[in-house]
Homo-oligomer: A and B are copies of this chain.
C-alpha cells in the first residue's frame, strides 16, 4: 500500500532522506550464488553521484556503498541484500530560509498536504538522492541481466533544445551530458551554461535501448512489459512522460505504416519499440522519457509560505542545471529491475 517498494519477484524497498543519516535499499529475491562485491555496486553509483561535472550539483557526496546482508564470502545467499550509503555532505542550514515556503516545481506543497509534516532538509524523501538506492539495486539486476546477454543503454537524446543527430554509444560516457552525439553534447553544454548564467535550468529527453531480451517477457493484461516500464520510469522524480517505439508519432500514422511487417528474418521494422501486446518481441526495446527542467533555480520566483502569504523565493543550495546525465543511470537501473523481475515471473509461470 505504502509505495516504497517495487517489483514482485525481484523486489526493492528504498529508505532514507536527502539530509538524514543515510539512504539505501533492501533487495529481496536475488538469485543465490551470484558473485557480488561492493565494487560492482560502486561503479554504477559513481555514474549517478553528484559533483561529476559543471552540469550537475557541486554537492560532494562520496556515495560509498556498504553491503550489510545477503552476501557471504563474496556470493549472494538468496536472502535480502541491504545496501546503505551514509549521508555526509549535508547542509540542512541551506534550507533554513526556505523551509516555510513552497518551492515552485518541488513536492514541498504536496508532501505537506499528504503527510501534514515534511522533512524540509533538501527535499527529504522527495530528493533525487533517494535514487541512489535504486541505482544500487539496479547494479545487481544489471549483473544478472548481463549473464542473460541483456544490455541496457540510456543516454541523453535531447537537452536544452538540442537534439542528437547521431547515435554513437561510444561517446556516452565521454561527455558530461551523457549524450549519444559528441557535437550535440557540446552545443548542449553551451546552452546549459547560458541557462546557468541566467540562473535557470533546462529539460531534455533520455532514450533507452535494450538489446538481447528474449521474446516472451511481460505479463498481460495489466503487468505488460511496457506498462511496468512506464510505472518504473514515471516513478523517477523529474520524468513527466514516456513513449515506446514510434511513440507519439503513431498518432499521425496509418496502420499500414505503423504495423511492423515480418519476413523470414523476423521483424522488418520496429515501430512497436520491441513490445507487442505487452510482451517483448525479441527486437530492441526502445523508449524515451521526458525530463522536466530542474525545479531548483536561483532566480526569484513567486510562491506562498505555509500561511498562504505571497512571497518571493530564491532557491540557493547546490543544484543540477540539467538533470539528464544523472537520470541516465537511474533509467538504466529501473529498466534492469523491471526486466530481471519479468524474467523471474516468466520462470514462475512455466515452473
Interface residues of A (CB under 8 A from B): 1-6, 8-9, 11, 13-17, 20-24, 26, 28-29, 31-33, 66, 68-70, 72, 75-82, 84, 102, 104-107, 109-111, 113-119, 124-126, 130, 158-159, 161, 195, 198, 200-205, 215-224, 226-235, 237, 240-248, 250-264, 268, 272-273, 275-282, 290-297, 299, 301-304, 308-310, 343-351
Contacts and interface: CB of A to CB of B under 8 A. Distances in A.
Nearest to A125: B79
B258 A292 contact: yes
Contacts of A228: 231
A277 B106 contact: yes
A28 B11 contact: no
Contacts of A346: 114, 351
A301 B254 CA distance: 13
A4 B13 CA distance: 11
A240 B245 contact: yes
Given A3-B219, A243-B290, 13 more contacts: A15-B79, A17-B70, A21-B66, A32-B350, A77-B118, A79-B124, A110-B276, A203-B253, A228-B231, A237-B277, A241-B247, A250-B292, A253-B292
A1 B3 contact: no
Contacts of A22: 68-69, 82
B78 A349 contact: yes
Q: Which of A13, A230, A259, A299 has the most CB of B within 10 A?
A: A259
A159 to B, nearest CB: 8
Given A11-B1, A240-B250, A115 B32 contact: yes
Question: Oligomeric state, in number of copies?
Answer: 4
Q: Which of A72, A264, A273 has the most CB of B within 10 A?
A: A72
A90 B271 CA distance: 31
Contact of A3 (B223, B233, B252, B304): B223
A9 B5 CA distance: 12
A293 B255 contact: yes
Given A15-B82, A126-B220, A241-B244, A264 B309 contact: yes
Contacts of A257: 293
B273 A77 contact: no
Contacts of A104: 259-262
B77 A125 contact: yes
26 contacts: A1-B1, A9-B348, A23-B69, A32-B117, A79-B119, A79-B125, A106-B276, A106-B277, A107-B277, A111-B277, A126-B277, A130-B221, A201-B256, A224-B234, A227-B232, A231-B231, A240-B243, A240-B245, A240-B246, A243-B248, A250-B292, A261-B301, A262-B302, A263-B304, A263-B310, A344-B351
A303 B69 CA distance: 29
Nearest to A263: B310
Contacts of A126: 220-221, 277
